[in-house]
Amino acid sequence: MRVIGTAGHVDHGKSTLVEALTGTHPDRLKEEREREMTIDLGFAWLTLPNGEDVGIVDVPGHRDFIENMLAGVGGIDAALFVIAADEGVMPQTREHLAILDLLQVQGGVIALTKVDLVEDEDWLSLVEDDVRQVVAGTVLGEAPIIRVSARKNIGLETLLNALGANLEEKPPRLDVGRPRLPVDRVFTISGFGTVVTGTLMDGCLRVGEEVEILPRGLKGRVRGLQTHKKKEDVAIPGSRTAANITSVTVDQIRRGDVVAHPKDYSTTARMDVHFHLLPDSSQPVRHNTQVKLFIGASEVVSRLRLLGRDELKPGETGWLQLELSEPVVAVRSDRYILRRPSPGETLGGGSVVDPHPKGRHRRFSKDILARLEALAQGTPADIMMQALVAIGAGPWKDVIARSNLNHAQVEAALDELRSTGALIVLDGASDGGVIQNESLVTSKGYWEQLSKRALQELEQYHQVNPLRRGMPREELKSRLKVPPRLFATLISRLVASNQLHETGPIVSVYGYEIRFDPEQQKMVQSLLARFATSGFSPPSVKECQSDVGEGVYSALIDLGLLVQVSPEVVFSRDLYDRMVADILDLFKTQDTLSAAQVRDYFNTSRRYVLALLEHLDSIGLTVREGDVRRHRN
């Protein structure tokens, strides 16, 4: 079901024409709703000569005309552009045309209304010529001009045929499986509760589904759907839709909010856009100008940052970064309009190039401008690559969401990027290598950089701490500032490719070893000699530390040359191994051992024996029962 939107100067006959075409006067919709208890979708319906049912959004000619028009015009398939034959092109005619053009509404039909008021054929031709000139080069450049009179029933049939022909040429609306309904009206119907209306985009909405209302993230459920006055179970993209939503009240939803599946969209308060300043604009646009942004059905006060230029002159195009005062839902390629707040004037508009830029751009960065250019011009693979670069590493579904491509484009782009190695699937793919929504993906560039950073951090650590075996894993993770899943994948891949070594909680550059300088080497040797001669009564921890220094001491522990069993007691590796082996031997002939038995066996002091036995308890080799130990199997 497609939607036609009317536009044109106030009093040029839009409402009268809609009534003549549909039998419904737009102003009467409200009464009708109250009388018939049907949901008012804010527009009228008509059946074209070819049998197709279409909806017409007619925007009332009130004070906020333009801004109202903007809320309604976003999702339309074709324009019915109205110009009164007696007055011809007027200022609002131009402004509406500019808006249709900026929003890239895909063509339509021009109705030259009130022809009954003009008897002079020459005048009509003159007006037509004028109209042709004004629309030349815009989205209505090729639109047929149909002379009509709603009063005298002239040309209405021809107009309907022309609208039918125009719609026939159009492809179906994009369905990327991520429905979003920008809310243009919200009201209650007694017995039903909250109802929102809008033109559904990008996917289907189904009765019973859970939905999220953004930007606030309220949760609700679709209780009922209605399109074209009929109840439906499924609303398809492009259709004018009324959704009855449970669990939210009318005052919790505003025009401009977006109804979507939970987690499908994230809001944004900053975006990079391509911008065209209208040639009729009264003045240039400068950096830091405050503007009103119209996108979807929302209107948000924003500040524009002009990139790469000091000012834009009327008729010029450029790149902007918009800073929004409130978050909105927007995806790549969404069209938008900017207006000056007061006096109200449409400045221009264009399309969203990056709805989630990383941060504030430096205004004259060549890299940024080149990236924006690539995003705006790019093939699906370029666009996906940009999304990947922006994300760094993340679940595949985030890349899809950010790219905003359709299924076929996603498949093609993925094949291309995987085959060239530009995209790497890190984990979570199925056995056959098929990528899943939750698969962790990254770009080759990001991955190489991250690997390099990890190894550099370790190299540095080794340099600063030559006496340590390596860095605690957790410390590396927090230095790299990456989430746990990505970090785990990074470590296991670096280990698998022999770039990194992992022992317990310690990681080091592959091949790194603690090395003592000659002086340290000497101290180490004399300490080890002390151990060799002291038998079962080795020097204490404190003595060792004062002999060789704390750093060398802990390196000896790390290297396993010394084994510290308590805060005071340390043994050489040889002695420790021998004592443990002897104790295990003793357990072969007896079930329990007392501290005194062990002391007598080794002929050493109680201090050492107690420390050793407690240590053996703590590593789970023995278990203490009263005064004796038992071997724990």
Q: In the complex, which residues of this chain contact ligand GDP (CB under 6 A)?
A: 10-16, 61, 113-114, 116-117, 149-151
Q: How far is the C-alpha of 107 from the C-alpha of 90, rounded, in Å?
A: 20
On the CB side of 66, how many CA atoms lie within 13 Å of its CA?
Answer: 22
CB of 68 to ligand GDP, least distance (A): 12
When the beta carbons of 61 and 539 are compared against ligand GDP, the nearer one is 61
Q: Which is nearer to ligand GDP, 11 or 457 (CB)?
A: 11
Q: Which is nearer to ligand GDP, 27 or 438 (CB)?
A: 27
Which residue lies nearer to ligand GDP by CB, 15 or 386?
15
CB of 96 to ligand GDP, least distance (A): 11
Which residue's structure tokens are 């929504």?
Answer: 437
84/544 with CB nearer ligand GDP: 84
State in angstroms the smallest separation of the CB of 167 from ligand GDP: 22
Least distance in angstroms from the C-beta of 184 to ligand GDP: 18
- CB of 87: closest distance to ligand GDP in angstroms? 10
Q: How far is the CB of 8 from ligand GDP (least distance, A)?
A: 6
Nearer to ligand GDP, 15 or 241 (CB): 15
Question: Which residues make Cβ contacts (< 8 Å) with residue 102, sequence separation at least 6?
Answer: 276, 278, 335, 337, 348, 349, 350
Single out the residue of 266, 248, 239 nearest to residue 356, CA to CA: 266
User: How far apart are CB 112 and ligand GDP at their closest, in Å?
Assistant: 10
**Which CB, 150 or 222, lies closer to ligand GDP?**
150
Residue by residue, what is the 3-state secondary structure of 214-269? ECCCEEEEEEEEEECCEEECEECCCCEEEEEEECCCHHHCCCCCEEECCCCCCCEE
Which residues, in sequence order, are CB contacts of 431 under 8 Å at separation 6+? none
Instruction: Using the minimum distance from each CB to ligand GDP, give the nearer residue, 111 or 307.
Output: 111
Q: Rounded distance, CA 425 to CA 394, Å?
A: 10
User: C-beta of 196: minimal distance to ligand GDP in Å?
Assistant: 25
**Total count of residues recorded for the chain:** 633
The residues pairing with 154 across neighbouring beta strands, listed in sequence order, are 149
- Tell me the C-alpha distance between 103 and 140, whole Å: 12
Nearest CB to ligand GDP, comparing residues 62 and 366: 62
Q: Tell me how crowded residue 15 is: count the other CB atoms within 10 A of its CB.
A: 22
78-84 and 53-57 beta bridge pairing: unpaired
Longest dimension (CA), the chain: 129
Minimum Å gap between C-beta 79 and ligand GDP is 14
Provide the b/e sequence for 544-554 (b: ≥16 CB within 10 Å): bbeebeeebbb
Who contacts 562 (Cβ-Cβ below 8 Å, separation ≥6)?
A: 531, 544, 553, 556, 570, 571, 572, 573
